[in-house]
Structure 1
C-alpha cells in the first residue's frame, strides 16, 4: 500500500489521473484550517489511490489564506487553494471547488472541524460497493444545540424528503462523496448546497443516492455561520427546488395551469353575472362579485403571459448555461499563484 507522499510522487511521474478530490469551502476559519489540513493528511495516509485537496477561501477577512498557504509545500500533500474575490456564499464556494476538481470522485466537507476526514475512505468504499452516484453523510449523533440546530434541521429534512421524494435523514451534512461526472452536471446557485441530493436526483435515479452514518464533532473554534433565521431561508429555497425539479424545462405548464384555473373560475363568475344581468334583469355594476370576476380574468391573462415568457427564458437558459456564481481572485499551487 502506498503512502500519501509516494502516491503524489508516483502520480506526478506517471501522469496518473487523480482518483479523489477533497473540496473544502472556508470562510474565516483561521484557527481551524491548520488542524483541518493535519487531520485530512492523517486520514488519507492509508488511502490506496491518488488524491488532491482543494481549499476554497470564500472571501475570508482573517488569516485563513495565510494559514492555509503555509501547507502548500508540505511533502506528500497535493494542495490547491482557490481564493475567491469576495464572499459569495458556501454554495458558490463549493461550486468553485467542484469546477477545479480533477478527481473521478469528489468529496466535500466543512472547514470547521465538525466533519471527520477519517470517514472519507470508508464512504468511498461504501459508494463503490453500493454502486451509488452520491453518498451523503448522516450525522446520527449530532453535536449541536437542540433548539437552534437539531429541531429546525429535523423539520427541514422531513419537509425536503416529502417534497423532493429523496428520503434522507440529514440533508444538511456537508460530508458527501460524489462521482465527478455526475456532480459536474449539476449547477449550484444561490444557497442551494443543502439541496444537493435533490438536484442530483434530477440527473440520476434516486436509487443511486444513499446515506451512511458519520462522525460529527462539536465546533472547536470560531462561531457558527448559521442561526435560526436559516429555517425561513430553507422554506423559501425548498419552494424554488420544488419548482425547478418539476417545471425547470417547462415553466409554461406551471404558470399556464394556474392561469387556466383562474380563467375558468373567472368564466364561471362572469357567465353567472351575464345571466343575472341580461336574463334576470338585475343590476351587477356595483356588485363585488363582478370586480372579483374581472380581477380573476386579468390575473389569468397575466399568468398565461408569464408562462410564455418563462418558456422563452428557459430555452435561452438551456442554450447558454455558462454563467458562474463566483469570481476567482487567485489560485495557489506550490509556490505559484495565478489568476
Structure 2
C-alpha cells in the first residue's frame, strides 16, 4: 500500500494485481535522460528519500536517450548502490517521446510517474500526484504555475500552445508541457506514442474515458546544461495537434473526412461546369475560351481520388483494430447483479 503525507481517500493497494509471480511494485518512476550527467546525483539525492518516505514498493526506470556526456556512467554508479533502479540505454538519441514510451513499456508499477531529470521538476511533488490518483483520478498532470523559465522564449509560446491545445482538444489544462505527471497503469495500456506526442497523453487518456485532473507543482530554474527545446518546437506542436485532432474525430471513421472532402469537391465541380455552361448560353463565351471546364474535370478527379482514399483508410483502420485485437471502445469495469439462486 502506498502511503502519502496526507491520508488518501482510497488505498493504492486496491490497484495491485496478482499474476501468480512476485508482487509487482506499486509505483514506477520513469526518467527520460539526455545529457544530464551533472544533474543526476542531485536528482537521486532528492528522489530516493521521497520514495522511501512513501513506504511503498517502487522502481525507478532511467532511460538514457543516447546521451553524449557521462550520464550513463553516473547512472550505472548510482544503480550499483540501489536495487530499485533499472537502466534502459538507447543506441542513439530518439527523443523524449521515445524515452517515455520505453519507460511505459518496461514499467511494472500500477501507478506510473514521469518527471524530467534536469532538476526543474521537484520530486517532493510525487506524493501529491499519487494522492490524487488514490482519490480516483486516472491521470494527474502537473501545472508549473510559477514557471522559472525565460518569459519571452519559453513561457509565452507555452501559454499560447496550451490555450490552443485546450480549445481544440476539449481537455482543459494549463500546462501540457510539464513532464511531471502520474498515470494509472491500465490507462497507458495500448497507448503508442510517436513523434513529439508525449505532451498529448492526457488527451489520449481522456478519449478513453479517463478522469484527468491538474494540480499546481513546484518548478525550479535550470542549474546545469541548457534546454533541449527551442522556438522551433511551436511548429512541431501545431503539426502534432493537427494529427491529434484528426485521430480524435476520425480514427474510426476516416471516410467521413476523405469522403466529405471528395463530395464537396465534386459538388464544386458541378457548380463550375454549370457556370461554364451559363457563360456559353448567356454570354456567348465558348467552352474552349474559359478554363472552367478543365477546372471542373480536375475537381471531379480530385473528389473521386479523395473518396477512394477514404475507402482505403477504412480498410486500413479495420485491419489495424482486428490485427491488434483492439476495440473501438474502452471498458472501465464489469458489473453484474447478484448470482441467481
TM-score range, shorter chain: 0.7 to 0.9
**Counterpart position of 1:72:** 79
SS in 2 for 1:201: helix
CA distance in 1, matches of 2:320, 2:280: 49
**Counterpart position of 2:103:** 97
Q: Deviations over 1:46-70 (max 9, x none)?
A: 1022111000011111111110000
Deviation, structure 1 residue 212: 0.3
CA distance in 1, matches of 2:153, 2:282: 63
2:153 is equivalent to residue 148 of structure 1: yes
**Counterpart position of 1:25:** 32
Deviation, structure 1 residue 316: 2.8
**Counterpart position of 1:61:** 68
Greater CA drift, 189-198 or 101-110 = 189-198
Gaps of 5+ in 2: 4-20, 326-341
CA distance in 2, matches of 1:108, 1:16: 22
Question: Relative to 1, partners in 2 of residues 1:320 and 1:96: Cα closer, same or farther, differing over 3 Å?
Answer: farther
Q: Deviations over 1:257-315 (max 9, x none)?
A: 11111111111221333455478764121213333322222221221122122222222
Greater CA drift, 255-264 or 291-300 = 291-300
2:119 is equivalent to residue 113 of structure 1: yes
**Counterpart position of 1:135:** 140
Gaps of 5+ in 1: 4-13, 323-339
**Counterpart position of 2:12:** none
1:289 alignment partner, one of 265, 287, 292: 292
CA distance in 2, matches of 1:321, 1:271: 48
2:165 is equivalent to residue 160 of structure 1: yes
SS in 2 for 1:225: coil
**Counterpart position of 1:176:** 181
CA distance in 2, matches of 1:255, 1:321: 24
Q: Deviations over 1:161-190 (max 9, x none)?
A: 000000001000000000001112321111
**Counterpart position of 1:214:** 217
**Counterpart position of 2:207:** 202
The one of the two structures with greater contact order (alpha-carbon pairs below 8 A, sep at least 6) is 1
2:241 is equivalent to residue 234 of structure 1: no
Deviation, structure 1 residue 204: 1.8
**Counterpart position of 2:267:** 264
**Counterpart position of 2:92:** 86
**Counterpart position of 1:123:** 129
CA distance in 1, matches of 2:139, 2:199: 14
2:197 is equivalent to residue 192 of structure 1: yes
Equivalent residues, number: 308
Do the aligned residues in 2 keep the contact of 1:123 with 1:177 (CA within 8 Å)?
Answer: yes
**Counterpart position of 1:303:** 306
Question: Relative to 1, partners in 2 of residues 1:319 and 1:87: Cα closer, same or farther, differing over 3 Å?
Answer: farther
SS in 2 for 1:22: strand
Do the aligned residues in 1 keep the contact of 2:140 with 2:183 (CA within 8 Å)?
Answer: yes
Do the aligned residues in 2 keep the contact of 1:141 with 1:215 (CA within 8 Å)?
Answer: yes
TM-score relative to the length of structure 1: 0.86
RMSD of aligned alpha carbons: 2.1
2:246 is equivalent to residue 243 of structure 1: yes
Do the aligned residues in 2 keep the contact of 1:185 with 1:203 (CA within 8 Å)?
Answer: no
TM-score relative to the length of structure 2: 0.85
